[in-house]
Amino acid sequence: MHDLTGKVAFVTGAGSVGEGWGNGKAAAVLMARQGALVFGVDISAEALESTAALLAREGIADRWHSVVCDMTVDTQVESSVLECQRHFGQIDILVNNIGGSAPGDPVSMSEEVWHQQLDLNLTTAFLACKHVLPIMEQQFEATAHGGSIVNIGSIGSMSFQVGGRVSAGYAASKAGLEAFSRSTAIAYVLKGIRVNTVVPGVMYTPLVEHRLVGQLGAADAERLIAERHASVPMGRMGDAWDVAHAVLFLASDEAGYITATQIVVDGGMTAARPS
Ligand SMILES: NC(=O)c1ccc[n+]([C@@H]2O[C@H](COP(=O)([O-])OP(=O)(O)OC[C@H]3O[C@@H](n4cnc5c(N)ncnc54)[C@H](O)[C@@H]3O)[C@@H](O)[C@H]2O)c1
């Protein structure tokens, strides 16, 4: 099941902020365990080294190659994609995992932060698709093997707030990412390329603690983390593996008839939303 032997996966944000498992790191490691050759990109060399070390410990370091890349910069994205193709010869799977939220509504958020949110959560996926789609299309024409693109959204796209925080830029960019996914999926539906979104709920990844402590201070961050656990019908936040398993499924051939849709991974949170 979900055997990725012979496939090459390009994973953005393949490290993780701080210790532990971010969604991108877990997806990269899980796909390598399933046989894929994984090309990781991240803005942090240290984060990439940590993922490389984990794969080396599992004896599968040969399934990994990485470059440092700021995914908001077109020239860097283009050269990373070309380096992946040069190193591994093909690209079958693209996981667009870069993202993060900044608090604020249209009045409290500066225009600069608004643009940063769109760049981080949406433009990164656009740029990756711009450079990867032609490669996948050529592969499909030459071999009849298409590609799978998995974007990482958020239930923030449904304006979900935990602890009363409004993140208008994040909500808009993640909603935009889902629309971008569906639109791109239909544009490429006859070219052998599937495009879907994994929509995580509130997940306990290193980024949460890292960002919240930075934004709120340790005591308030601890309170908000407790609120995040309590807000989920399952009684706890999910983790990066919950996201990674959904990514693996959508990337695999078992999901071959699935495109232009979302898998929500949220412990029941959106269904329990007060009307
Ligand atoms: N953690 C959650 O609760 C949660 C919930 C819903 C959705 N998500 C989404 O999941 C995704 C991953 O979040 P995470 O919490 O697992 O983070 P993570 O720990 O995977 O960290 C993201 C990685 O991206 C890298 N990165 C940041 N900016 C970059 C850039 N411009 N170019 C290249 N690399 C960059 C960071 O260095 C880090 O290694 C994001 O899109 C996020 O919005 C997370």
Cα 210 from chain centre: 18
C-alpha span between 94 and 9 (Å, rounded): 6
Check if the beta carbon of residue 201 is closer than 8 Å to that of residue 177: no
Q: Is residue 162 very low, low, confident or very high in pLDDT (cuts 50, 70, 90)?
A: low
Check if the beta carbon of residue 72 is closer than 8 Å to that of residue 40: no
Give the global pTM: 0.96
pLDDT value at position 163? 56
Nearest residue by C-alpha to atom 4 in ligand 1: 203
pLDDT in tens, 84-113: 999 999 999 999 999 999 999 999 999 999
pLDDT value at position 76? 98
Q: Is residue 209 very low, low, confident or very high in pLDDT (cuts 50, 70, 90)?
A: confident
Mean pLDDT throughout 200-206? 90
Query: What residues flank ligand 1, with Cβ below 6 Å?
Result: 13, 15-17, 22-25, 42-44, 47, 69-72, 97-100, 152, 154, 200, 202-203, 205-208, 240
pLDDT in tens, 170-182: 999 999 999 999 9
Ligand 1 centre to CA of 96 (Å) is: 10
Phi, psi of 19 (to 5 degrees): -70, 160
Can 170 be counted among the known catalytic residues?
Answer: yes
Nearest residue by C-alpha to atom 7 in ligand 1: 154
Query: DSSP labels for 203-246?
Result: B--HHHHHHHHHHH-HHHHHHHHHHHHHTSTTSS-B-HHHHHHH
pLDDT value at position 228? 86
CA distances from 63 to 20, 96, 136, 187, 228 (A): 21, 19, 20, 31, 36
CATH number of 8-207+239-263: 3.40.50.720
Alpha helices in the chain (DSSP H): 23-33, 45-57, 74-88, 111-118, 124-143, 168-187, 206-216, 218-230, 240-251
Burial letters 43-66, b for 16+ CB under 10 A, else e = beeebbebbbebbeeeebeebbbb
Phi, psi of 64 (to 5 degrees): -135, 135
Tokens of 49: 């080294």
Mean pLDDT throughout 235-263? 98
Pick the catalytic residue from 170, 188, 204, 257: 170
Q: Is residue 131 very low, low, confident or very high in pLDDT (cuts 50, 70, 90)?
A: very high
* DSSP symbol at 269: T
Domain positions in the chain are 8-207+239-263
pLDDT value at position 174? 98
